[in-house]
Chain A
Amino acid sequence: MILNSIILQTATRILIALLLLLSIWLMIRGHNLPGGGFIGGLVGACACALYTISYGVKKAREALRLEPRIMIGLGLTLAFLSGLISLFLGDPFLTGQWIKIYIFGTLVKIGSPMFFDIGVYFVVIGVTLAMIFALEELEFDYQPSSEADK
Protein backbone atom coordinates (compact mmCIF):
# COMPACT_ATOMS: atom_id res chain seq x y z
CA MET A 1 0.00 0.00 0.00
CA ILE A 2 1.91 3.01 -1.22
CA LEU A 3 0.09 6.26 -1.65
CA ASN A 4 2.31 7.84 -4.26
CA SER A 5 1.29 11.31 -3.32
CA ILE A 6 3.81 14.15 -3.64
CA ILE A 7 2.03 16.20 -1.02
CA LEU A 8 2.05 13.36 1.48
CA GLN A 9 5.69 12.59 0.76
CA THR A 10 6.71 16.19 1.22
CA ALA A 11 4.68 16.55 4.36
CA THR A 12 6.09 13.30 5.69
CA ARG A 13 9.66 14.49 5.10
CA ILE A 14 9.04 17.43 7.38
CA LEU A 15 6.83 15.65 9.88
CA ILE A 16 8.94 12.55 10.34
CA ALA A 17 11.79 14.37 12.04
CA LEU A 18 9.41 16.27 14.27
CA LEU A 19 7.45 13.16 15.18
CA LEU A 20 10.55 11.14 15.98
CA LEU A 21 11.89 13.97 18.08
CA LEU A 22 8.53 14.18 19.81
CA SER A 23 8.54 10.46 20.49
CA ILE A 24 11.98 10.56 22.09
CA TRP A 25 11.06 13.63 24.08
CA LEU A 26 7.86 11.96 25.32
CA MET A 27 9.80 8.88 26.30
CA ILE A 28 12.46 10.76 28.24
CA ARG A 29 10.17 13.10 30.11
CA GLY A 30 7.78 10.25 30.86
CA HIS A 31 9.13 9.71 34.31
CA ASN A 32 7.94 13.07 35.52
CA LEU A 33 5.26 14.19 33.08
CA PRO A 34 2.77 12.39 30.83
CA GLY A 35 4.69 10.15 28.46
CA GLY A 36 6.96 7.16 28.84
CA GLY A 37 8.21 4.20 26.89
CA PHE A 38 4.83 3.02 25.71
CA ILE A 39 3.61 6.41 24.58
CA GLY A 40 6.92 7.44 23.06
CA GLY A 41 7.15 4.13 21.30
CA LEU A 42 3.66 4.46 19.91
CA VAL A 43 4.32 7.95 18.58
CA GLY A 44 7.57 6.73 17.04
CA ALA A 45 5.74 3.78 15.50
CA CYS A 46 3.12 6.12 14.05
CA ALA A 47 5.88 8.23 12.54
CA CYS A 48 7.51 5.23 10.93
CA ALA A 49 4.13 3.95 9.74
CA LEU A 50 3.50 7.30 8.08
CA TYR A 51 6.86 7.07 6.34
CA THR A 52 6.09 3.52 5.24
CA ILE A 53 2.77 4.53 3.77
CA SER A 54 4.22 7.44 1.83
CA TYR A 55 7.41 5.85 0.55
CA GLY A 56 6.84 2.08 0.73
CA VAL A 57 8.41 -0.62 2.83
CA LYS A 58 11.62 -0.81 0.90
CA LYS A 59 12.51 2.80 1.52
CA ALA A 60 11.30 2.54 5.10
CA ARG A 61 13.55 -0.41 5.76
CA GLU A 62 16.49 1.44 4.26
CA ALA A 63 15.80 4.48 6.37
CA LEU A 64 15.39 2.45 9.50
CA ARG A 65 18.60 0.44 8.86
CA LEU A 66 17.57 -1.95 11.65
CA GLU A 67 15.32 -4.97 11.29
CA PRO A 68 12.23 -4.44 13.47
CA ARG A 69 12.64 -7.95 14.86
CA ILE A 70 16.15 -7.10 15.98
CA MET A 71 14.77 -3.96 17.55
CA ILE A 72 12.35 -6.09 19.58
CA GLY A 73 15.19 -8.28 20.72
CA LEU A 74 17.33 -5.28 21.64
CA GLY A 75 14.47 -3.73 23.57
CA LEU A 76 13.72 -6.89 25.50
CA THR A 77 17.39 -7.42 26.27
CA LEU A 78 17.84 -3.86 27.46
CA ALA A 79 14.78 -4.07 29.71
CA PHE A 80 15.96 -7.39 31.08
CA LEU A 81 19.51 -6.19 31.69
CA SER A 82 18.26 -3.09 33.47
CA GLY A 83 16.49 -5.45 35.85
CA LEU A 84 19.62 -7.49 36.44
CA ILE A 85 21.51 -4.51 37.86
CA SER A 86 19.54 -4.68 41.07
CA LEU A 87 20.27 -8.40 41.42
CA PHE A 88 23.98 -7.65 41.65
CA LEU A 89 23.28 -5.07 44.31
CA GLY A 90 21.35 -7.57 46.38
CA ASP A 91 17.83 -6.30 45.64
CA PRO A 92 15.06 -8.26 43.95
CA PHE A 93 14.90 -8.33 40.16
CA LEU A 94 13.90 -5.01 38.57
CA THR A 95 14.29 -2.87 41.70
CA GLY A 96 15.05 0.66 40.58
CA GLN A 97 18.66 1.79 41.10
CA TRP A 98 19.60 5.44 40.82
CA ILE A 99 22.77 7.48 40.72
CA LYS A 100 23.11 11.23 40.79
CA ILE A 101 25.67 12.92 38.60
CA TYR A 102 26.37 16.55 37.82
CA ILE A 103 26.62 17.60 34.21
CA PHE A 104 27.74 21.24 33.85
CA GLY A 105 26.63 21.83 37.38
CA THR A 106 23.13 20.52 36.83
CA LEU A 107 21.88 17.61 38.90
CA VAL A 108 20.95 14.71 36.66
CA LYS A 109 19.47 11.51 38.03
CA ILE A 110 20.12 8.36 36.06
CA GLY A 111 18.42 5.12 37.00
CA SER A 112 17.81 1.64 35.79
CA PRO A 113 14.06 2.31 35.24
CA MET A 114 15.08 4.78 32.53
CA PHE A 115 16.86 2.04 30.64
CA PHE A 116 13.90 -0.20 31.24
CA ASP A 117 11.67 2.45 29.68
CA ILE A 118 14.02 2.74 26.70
CA GLY A 119 13.73 -1.02 26.31
CA VAL A 120 9.95 -0.73 26.32
CA TYR A 121 10.21 2.05 23.73
CA PHE A 122 12.17 -0.13 21.35
CA VAL A 123 9.93 -3.13 21.84
CA VAL A 124 6.82 -1.10 21.05
CA ILE A 125 8.31 0.41 17.88
CA GLY A 126 9.74 -2.94 16.84
CA VAL A 127 6.50 -4.82 17.37
CA THR A 128 4.41 -2.32 15.47
CA LEU A 129 6.83 -2.04 12.59
CA ALA A 130 7.37 -5.78 12.37
CA MET A 131 3.64 -6.19 11.93
CA ILE A 132 3.23 -3.36 9.47
CA PHE A 133 6.24 -4.33 7.37
CA ALA A 134 5.17 -7.97 7.23
CA LEU A 135 1.70 -6.94 6.13
CA GLU A 136 2.98 -4.45 3.59
CA GLU A 137 5.28 -7.02 2.06
CA LEU A 138 2.45 -9.47 1.53
CA GLU A 139 1.85 -10.45 -2.03
CA PHE A 140 -1.74 -10.34 -3.00
CA ASP A 141 -1.84 -14.09 -3.21
CA TYR A 142 -5.53 -14.31 -2.68
CA GLN A 143 -7.39 -11.22 -3.68
CA PRO A 144 -11.13 -11.29 -3.24
CA SER A 145 -11.53 -8.42 -5.66
CA SER A 146 -15.03 -9.36 -6.65
CA GLU A 147 -16.17 -9.24 -3.05
CA ALA A 148 -14.25 -6.20 -1.96
CA ASP A 149 -16.42 -3.29 -1.03
CA LYS A 150 -15.61 0.31 -0.60
Chain B
Amino acid sequence: MESLLSIAVGILFATGIYMMLRRNLIKFIFGFMLMGNGINLLIFTVGRLTRGTAPIVPEELEYLDGSVIQDFANPLPQALILTAIVIGFGFVAFSLVLLYRTYTVEKSLDTDMLQESVLPEVTP
Protein backbone atom coordinates (compact mmCIF):
# COMPACT_ATOMS: atom_id res chain seq x y z
CA MET B 1 0.00 0.00 0.00
CA GLU B 2 2.94 2.33 0.58
CA SER B 3 3.65 2.34 -3.16
CA LEU B 4 0.04 3.04 -4.05
CA LEU B 5 -0.15 5.87 -1.52
CA SER B 6 3.11 7.32 -2.82
CA ILE B 7 1.46 7.63 -6.20
CA ALA B 8 -1.63 9.14 -4.61
CA VAL B 9 0.47 11.68 -2.75
CA GLY B 10 2.29 12.59 -5.96
CA ILE B 11 -1.03 13.17 -7.67
CA LEU B 12 -2.36 15.24 -4.78
CA PHE B 13 0.77 17.39 -4.99
CA ALA B 14 0.51 17.75 -8.76
CA THR B 15 -3.15 18.69 -8.76
CA GLY B 16 -2.63 20.96 -5.77
CA ILE B 17 0.30 22.81 -7.32
CA TYR B 18 -1.53 23.12 -10.62
CA MET B 19 -4.47 24.73 -8.86
CA MET B 20 -2.21 27.02 -6.85
CA LEU B 21 -0.83 28.36 -10.11
CA ARG B 22 -4.24 29.41 -11.43
CA ARG B 23 -5.24 33.03 -11.58
CA ASN B 24 -8.21 32.80 -9.27
CA LEU B 25 -7.16 33.09 -5.64
CA ILE B 26 -9.96 30.79 -4.48
CA LYS B 27 -8.38 28.08 -6.58
CA PHE B 28 -5.12 28.85 -4.85
CA ILE B 29 -6.66 27.95 -1.50
CA PHE B 30 -8.29 24.84 -2.89
CA GLY B 31 -4.96 23.83 -4.36
CA PHE B 32 -3.35 24.39 -1.02
CA MET B 33 -5.92 22.16 0.65
CA LEU B 34 -5.20 19.39 -1.83
CA MET B 35 -1.48 19.71 -1.23
CA GLY B 36 -2.07 19.83 2.54
CA ASN B 37 -3.89 16.52 2.38
CA GLY B 38 -1.02 15.18 0.32
CA ILE B 39 1.53 16.30 2.91
CA ASN B 40 -0.40 14.66 5.74
CA LEU B 41 -0.58 11.43 3.80
CA LEU B 42 3.12 11.70 3.02
CA ILE B 43 4.06 11.87 6.69
CA PHE B 44 1.63 9.05 7.43
CA THR B 45 3.03 6.82 4.69
CA VAL B 46 6.74 7.26 5.38
CA GLY B 47 5.99 6.44 9.03
CA ARG B 48 5.02 3.03 7.60
CA LEU B 49 1.52 1.62 7.42
CA THR B 50 0.06 -1.15 9.55
CA ARG B 51 -3.33 -2.72 9.26
CA GLY B 52 -2.85 -3.81 12.83
CA THR B 53 -3.98 -2.06 15.94
CA ALA B 54 -4.27 1.60 16.76
CA PRO B 55 -1.39 2.91 18.91
CA ILE B 56 -3.24 2.35 22.15
CA VAL B 57 -1.65 0.30 24.88
CA PRO B 58 -4.06 -2.50 25.79
CA GLU B 59 -5.67 -2.19 29.21
CA GLU B 60 -3.83 -5.20 30.60
CA LEU B 61 -0.38 -4.13 29.46
CA GLU B 62 1.87 -1.58 31.12
CA TYR B 63 3.80 -0.80 27.93
CA LEU B 64 4.47 -2.05 24.43
CA ASP B 65 7.73 -3.92 24.26
CA GLY B 66 9.74 -5.05 21.26
CA SER B 67 7.80 -8.26 20.82
CA VAL B 68 4.39 -6.72 20.28
CA ILE B 69 5.26 -3.29 18.96
CA GLN B 70 5.26 -4.47 15.36
CA ASP B 71 1.52 -5.09 15.57
CA PHE B 72 0.75 -1.52 16.48
CA ALA B 73 0.69 1.53 14.28
CA ASN B 74 3.48 4.07 14.64
CA PRO B 75 2.14 6.74 17.05
CA LEU B 76 4.64 9.48 16.25
CA PRO B 77 3.47 10.42 12.72
CA GLN B 78 -0.09 10.31 13.97
CA ALA B 79 0.60 12.89 16.64
CA LEU B 80 2.37 15.08 14.10
CA ILE B 81 -0.44 14.80 11.57
CA LEU B 82 -3.15 15.48 14.11
CA THR B 83 -1.67 18.89 14.87
CA ALA B 84 -1.01 19.44 11.17
CA ILE B 85 -4.65 18.86 10.31
CA VAL B 86 -5.86 21.32 12.91
CA ILE B 87 -3.28 23.96 11.98
CA GLY B 88 -4.18 23.46 8.33
CA PHE B 89 -7.77 24.22 9.23
CA GLY B 90 -6.72 27.44 10.95
CA PHE B 91 -4.67 28.38 7.92
CA VAL B 92 -7.47 27.73 5.45
CA ALA B 93 -9.99 29.68 7.51
CA PHE B 94 -7.64 32.62 7.89
CA SER B 95 -6.74 32.65 4.20
CA LEU B 96 -10.36 32.53 3.15
CA VAL B 97 -11.17 35.52 5.31
CA LEU B 98 -8.09 37.29 4.00
CA LEU B 99 -9.38 36.63 0.48
CA TYR B 100 -12.72 38.05 1.41
CA ARG B 101 -11.05 41.13 2.84
CA THR B 102 -8.93 41.52 -0.28
CA TYR B 103 -12.00 41.23 -2.40
CA THR B 104 -13.91 43.92 -0.53
CA VAL B 105 -10.98 46.29 -0.98
CA GLU B 106 -9.69 45.37 -4.43
CA LYS B 107 -12.91 44.13 -6.00
CA SER B 108 -11.02 41.31 -7.61
CA LEU B 109 -9.45 37.96 -6.84
CA ASP B 110 -7.47 37.72 -10.04
CA THR B 111 -3.76 37.57 -9.23
CA ASP B 112 -2.86 39.38 -12.44
CA MET B 113 -5.29 42.20 -11.69
CA LEU B 114 -4.13 42.41 -8.07
CA GLN B 115 -0.56 42.83 -9.11
CA GLU B 116 -1.40 45.84 -11.20
CA SER B 117 -3.58 47.52 -8.63
CA VAL B 118 -1.68 46.84 -5.44
CA LEU B 119 1.99 47.28 -6.25
CA PRO B 120 3.52 50.63 -6.97
CA GLU B 121 5.36 51.01 -10.22
CA VAL B 122 8.94 49.84 -9.93
CA THR B 123 11.29 52.23 -11.58
CA PRO B 124 14.52 50.74 -12.80
- By a beta-carbon cutoff of 8 Å, the part of chain A in contact with chain B is 32-34, 38, 42, 124, 127, 131, 134-135, 141-142
Contact = CB atoms under 8 A, between A and B. Distances in A.
Contacts of A142: 103-104, 107
Interface string B87-110: 000100100010000011001000
Contacts, number: 18
B14 to A, nearest CB: 26
B11 interface: no
A32 B56 contact: yes
Contact of A127 (B90, B103, B104): B90
A124 B86 contact: yes
Nearest 10 CB-CB pairings of A with B: A142-B104, A131-B93, A38-B86, A38-B82, A141-B104, A33-B56, A34-B54, A127-B90, A142-B103, A124-B86
Chain B contact residues: over half helix, strand or loop, or mixed?
helix
Contacts of B54: 34
B98 to A, nearest CB: 12
Nearest to B82: A38
Contacts of A42: 86
B41 to A, nearest CB: 19
Nearest to A123: B86
B97 A131 contact: yes
Contacts of A38: 82-83, 86
Most chain B CB inside 10 Å of its own CB: which residue of A32, A34, A131: A131
Contacts of B90: 127
Contacts of A131: 93, 97
A38 B103 CA distance: 32
Contacts of B56: 32-34
Nearest to A34: B54
Contacts of A124: 86
A142 B99 CA distance: 13
A125 to B, nearest CB: 12
17 contacts: A32-B56, A33-B56, A34-B54, A34-B56, A38-B82, A38-B83, A38-B86, A42-B86, A124-B86, A131-B93, A131-B97, A134-B97, A135-B97, A141-B104, A142-B103, A142-B104, A142-B107
Contacts of B107: 142
A34 B93 CA distance: 26
A1 B56 CA distance: 41
Nearest to B103: A142
Interface string B47-84: 00000001010000000000000000000000000110
A124 B83 CA distance: 12
